[in-house]
Amino acid sequence: MLRRTQPMAQVVLLAVLAACSGTRGGQPSDPLPRGESVRWTGTIKGAERKSGTVSKNGGAEVFNGSVVLVPDAADPTRSEIRITLSGATTNTMLSWALLPDRCGSGAVPVLPLSSFGFLEMGMNGRAELTKQLPFDFPIGGIYHVAIYAGHRAVLEDVIACANLALRKG
């Protein structure tokens, strides 16, 4: 009797393993479409601060910019992100992160905050960054980029945010 159930248990185990191998960290495992250009894009906008402080414009700090996330051409286990930002903040280092879900969700970044580095706001109030991330390029899901006033990835410190949309072609 034990011998008959053992092969069945192995079949069930293989079926479970096959089903689980279809995703990596909540990401679809389908390969990138061949010959098709894919990228995530978003527009950075200032976020309402809940700290009780009032900025120069009386509400959200004035930030604008863009985000583009593309697959790393040389390494499929990495993604490349390009961020441009302008705002009222000058001569400072801002933390930022890539997160699942939409702006304001309070989600945890896809990598530790230290993996992202800083956006260096120059004296002219502008920052530009191109960075390789050790993150498989996602071809599904919902993502956003948050920019933080402090050096913590917490919702209260978000000063700007961009919801990302997947673009093909």
Supply the CATH classification number for the domain 37-168: 2.60.40.200
Side chain identity at residue 115, one-letter code: S
In the predicted model, what is the mean pLDDT of residues 10-34? 38
pLDDT at 27 over 70: no
In the predicted model, what is the mean pLDDT of residues 102-127? 96
Instruction: Output the pLDDT for position 32.
Output: 56
In the predicted model, what is the mean pLDDT of residues 14-42? 52
Asked whether 122 and 90 are in contact (CB, 8 A), the reply is: yes
In the predicted model, what is the mean pLDDT of residues 45-70? 71
Instruction: Output the pLDDT for position 89.
Output: 84
